Structure 1
Amino acid sequence: MKILLIGATGMVGSRILNEAISRGHEVIAATRGNKKLEFLDNVVEIVLDVNDSEAVAEQASNVDVIVSAVSPRNTEDAFADAVTFTQSLIAVYHKIGKRILMVGGGSSLNMPDGTNALDLTPEGILPEASGMRRAYGMMVHEDINFTVLAPAGIIEPGERTGKFRLGGRTMLTNSAGGKGNISAEDFAVAMLDEIEEPKHFRTIFNVGY
């Protein structure tokens, strides 16, 4: 497949890029331009502003799917940033009709007891978390082909095991009933699995151990 990956140099995006390449996919790796990728086969690196829907649509016109690994910067403007880039992705879909997969946040999920996971989010990352939850809500209210994959709580660099659990909008918890976790490497495996064999449509699901 041919994939447009937006945010290809980020912590999660770079793992998605590596996983896609390992499976033989072609990737247009879009970055903000402040980092350079090492030379990789089957990768075309471009500088792209996710908020420029015309430019994104042009780059995505010949791909199979769009993957957004963009996260709002954790500042007081994070909520507005998430709304802006989500509006752009929605506009792109209406222009060219390509499936969109988004890296979501655990704050977009609900706990097993029904509690909104956003209510358990530390204040320091609340703007970013609120923005990601709003982004999911915006996608739901549009008639578009999208999927959001969220980590079950904590996501950080780690090991690629290929062994994990999948859940719906209810967060997969750890053995103590608290927020779960997933390595960025295994998150990427789950994302590529969904790209290759779509099973979740117009919804959010989560991955955790």
Structure 2
Amino acid sequence: MEKEPAGGVREESLTGEGDKAAPRIAGTQVKHRGLRGSFGEDTVVADRPTTQSNQHCCLSKNSGQATNLARGRPTFQSSNSESRPPTKAVDGNCDGNMEHGSCTHTNLDTEPWWYVDLGIRYAISAVVVKNRGDCCGSRLRGAEVHVGDSKGSSSKSNPLCGPIADTSDGSLSTIYCNGLKGRYVSIVILGRADYLHVCEVEVYGTKLEKEC
């Protein structure tokens, strides 16, 4: 079992900007100012596991400012390991302990993938990914977030939003997509066989006007 690396605590104060605001999460703790989420304003959100059995980190649960487009949407992954289906990543529960039942998990797949179907195309501003916290977070090494209109194993050909750089146990990563357009938001691990698991995925963006 992999041990959680030692580290300090960092805070980052941020301001929401209406519907286009995306929560920026960095370091071990982040203080959000002006963005009302499930914790309210000026809340310190810990991205490491705590003694609570049902820790929530989803900032938009009760927010009237930023809407998590992924919450409760249809999800799919390359395979299912035991009782850890892809829907666990959009259930609003950010508990990072796999044994508490709110994380996804694939089998040992070659280039495993997970994606959420947003139903229609959006301009995506940011994607927030909660990593597993009880062990094995480094399995996300090299994982990438893609946005586009291809799904399943073809989602790796969608435009790249960005890599998940922080793969420490329990990490929260915000990947900025700068308005990439698409219906499907996916996480893929390229170039190797591995297990893919995440404990929550939030997607922020704006609905597109009518397209030609």
TM-score normalised to the size of structure 2? 0.33
Considering fraction of residues, name the structure with more strand. Answer: 2
Larger RCO, structures 1/2 (Cα 8 Å, 6+ apart): 2
Considering fraction of residues, name the structure with more helix. Answer: 1
TM-score normalised to the size of structure 1? 0.33
